[in-house]
Amino acid sequence: MRLREPPRIKVLEAAGAIADGRVHLVKGLTPDRLDATVISSEGDRRYRVVVVKEGGGYRVYSDDNGTRLRGYVGYPIISVLMLAGALPRDEQVEVALKGIFPKGSALDLVLLYTAARSPALCRCRAMGPPIMPRPMNPTFMGCGRRPQ
């Protein structure tokens, strides 16, 4: 199954997870596989992420709800790909997002407030849709089955 492009906010959520130190590589990056654990913003959930490089793309697995239930690339996968260098990162954006991703409806208010006050997030907004590069969607070749 091909995964859909995620909502834009998931890219920011991934950057926040990196800034908060919630992304832990379980095994070092090998030429073809990376395993990681991503801790939720509230600390009550741990997501397993597996990324396997195949040809010109990636086969990915994550047990987060966005990936499993909604069929889009979830923020745990995005954060691991950012750490692996497969997706671009902006450290100023990460610093601006550190500690501001609580779960729930307050998230949008926090982001609006922070974006209005942070030059780094204003740069994100100025990038326009989508924040992620266009070729991203076709490179994700599947999920749902754990890579062997």
Band the pLDDT of 100: cuts 50, 70, 90. Answer: confident
**Cα 82 to Cα 117: distance, rounded to the nearest angstrom:** 25
Ranges assigned E (strand) in 12-112: 23-25, 33-39, 46-54, 57-62
Q: What is the mean pLDDT of residues 134-139?
A: 38
Q: Mean pLDDT in the chain? A: 75
Q: What is the DSSP letter of 41?
A: T
- pLDDT greater than 70 at residue 24: yes
Q: For residues 49 and 137, is the Cβ–Cβ distance under 8 A?
A: no
pLDDT at res. 13 = 87
pLDDT at res. 128 = 44
Q: What is the mean pLDDT of residues 131-135?
A: 38
28-34 CB contacts, 8 Å cutoff, 24+ apart: 29/84, 33/147, 34/80, 34/84
Q: What is the mean pLDDT of residues 38-53?
A: 91
State pTM to two decimals.
0.71
pLDDT at res. 84 = 87
Q: What is the mean pLDDT of residues 78-92?
A: 90
